[in-house]
Structure 1
Amino acid sequence: MSNDQSKTPKVKTIYLIRHGETDFNRQGIVQGSGVDSDLNELGQAQAEAFYQKYQHILFDKVYTSALKRTHQSVKKFLEKGLPWEQHEGLNEISWGVREGKVPNDIDNEYYKILIDGWINGKVDLPSEGGESPQDVLTRQKPVIDLIISRSDEETILVAMHGRAIRIILTLLLERELHEMDSFEHANLCLYKLTYDYEQGKFSVELENDLSHLDDLIVE
């Protein structure tokens, strides 16, 4: 019995990152899950900087969304031959009909009203033609359950998206969904979390950490 217990780690460590910068990010254009954009030059440099800082970590697996900006953000890790899975459940929220459009004053007001509604508890309110935070949480949960069930994967790297990270952190840290905007994020930021199997709880070691980007020169 003790041998069986020794095979199960007491703690799983998760390095959760947001993808690097895209031109859409720089221009303030909402991408959501419907715009499958590439990293720009800065985004690629951010990904390289993260790799240089954390290449020594022995990741058991890499998880990403199905969108290529997350794939490109962990490209160097994948080139090492690490096991990799992509899950649509980790995709960014769908912002619906306004994805990929340069926002005008009307759009900006729309987003403000929508997000204010979410903050005030209307988390089942979807964007026009898109998803609600509750919709996103519903598709994220099976992926998290799968990751937790794989107790042999002691250290993993997960690449996702800004709003999706805010949503998933409420699930992992047992916070109310309407509190999601309390979690800050930036391109190629790192949240380092641990999951205690005995307690069945996540905790945060690093939050929106950008120290790996300190040496980047931003024009």
Structure 2
Amino acid sequence: MAQKTIYLIRHGETDYNRRGVVQGSGVDSDLNEMGQAQAMAFFQAYQHVPFLKIYISGLKRTYQTARPFIELGIAHEKLTGFNEISWGVMEGKVPGNLDNEYYRSLIEAWASGNTALPTDGGESPEQVEARQRTAMDVVLAQPDEAPVLIAMHGRAMRILLCWITNRPLAQMDHFEHSNLCLYKLRYDYDTKTFTIDLSNDTSHLLSLALAQ
């Protein structure tokens, strides 16, 4: 039975994350000092895993998160299908009262099943799913290329975890995430199904919490 193990991580912290600024796919921010420390802590915990390939989004915060592995000489590929959702006009803003109201109504609309509704000037969850399916087809096209590491983004990760487990996108907020969390997945080529073995795992960051 052919299976592929996928380590799916969210990028490390950026200053935008810390300040509550909306990034989306239009803000190409760097990891901050904490984000770099998170990336190194994940590397130290998982450097023993014999990754055959690393996939990153088109945004540099995912490259910087995976860089310790890439510097070992592991092949990597940029797939913009794994980019964060475009939040449109909200990108680069700290949500004020009006923006919070807009964001809240948007999330409520998605949760009620209107996942074709795009952000103002941006994307809908259904549009993100469509490009993610194309990107995931690339990852799954090489059954012997395993295990692999995919570094991506919070909202995009929620969307991906929904459709790969055959849940409606309206349930995307069921999947929790934090900076440099890990979801460990298995894909079965015979049944064409995904299994989640680890969810929002941050045990590799415990050393950072103890150091604070």
Alignment of 1:198 with 2:178, yes or no, is no
Q: Which residue does the alignment assign to 1:162?
A: 154
Quote how far apart the aligned CAs of 1:83 are: 0.6
Q: Which residue does the alignment assign to 1:12?
A: 4
Q: Which residue does the alignment assign to 1:176?
A: 168
1:122-171, Cα deviation, whole Å (9 max, x unpaired):
00001110000001001110111121121121200000000000001112
Q: Which residue does the alignment assign to 1:131?
A: 123
1:53-105, Cα deviation, whole Å (9 max, x unpaired):
00010001000100000000011000011110011110000000110012111
TM-score by length of 2: 0.97
Unaligned runs of 5+ in 2: none
1:14-59, Cα deviation, whole Å (9 max, x unpaired):
0000000000000111100000000000000000000000001000
Alignment of 1:66 with 2:58, yes or no, is yes
Quote how far apart the aligned CAs of 1:115 are: 0.6
Alignment of 1:45 with 2:37, yes or no, is yes
Q: Which residue does the alignment assign to 2:112?
A: 120
* Kept after mapping to 1: 8 A contact 2:53/2:146: no
Question: Which has the higher Rg, Structure 1 or Structure 2?
Answer: 1
Range with greater deviation from structure 2 (20-29 or 193-202)? 193-202
The CA distance in 2 between the partners of 1:31 and 1:127, in whole Å, is 13
Q: Which amino acid aligns with 2:133?
A: K
Q: Which amino acid aligns with 2:152?
A: M
**Pairs aligned (count):** 211
Quote how far apart the aligned CAs of 1:196 are: 1.1
Unaligned runs of 5+ in 1: 1-8
Q: Which residue does the alignment assign to 2:49?
A: 57
The CA distance in 2 between the partners of 1:103 and 1:170, in whole Å, is 26
Corresponding residue to 1:97 among 89, 94, 97: 89
Corresponding residue to 1:211 among 200, 203, 208: 203
The CA distance in 2 between the partners of 1:93 and 1:71, in whole Å, is 17
Q: Which residue does the alignment assign to 2:20?
A: 28
The CA distance in 2 between the partners of 1:26 and 1:153, in whole Å, is 35
The CA distance in 2 between the partners of 1:169 and 1:190, in whole Å, is 12
TM-score by length of 1: 0.94
The CA distance in 1 between the partners of 2:129 and 2:72, in whole Å, is 31
Q: Which residue does the alignment assign to 1:4?
A: none
The CA distance in 2 between the partners of 1:195 and 1:137, in whole Å, is 18
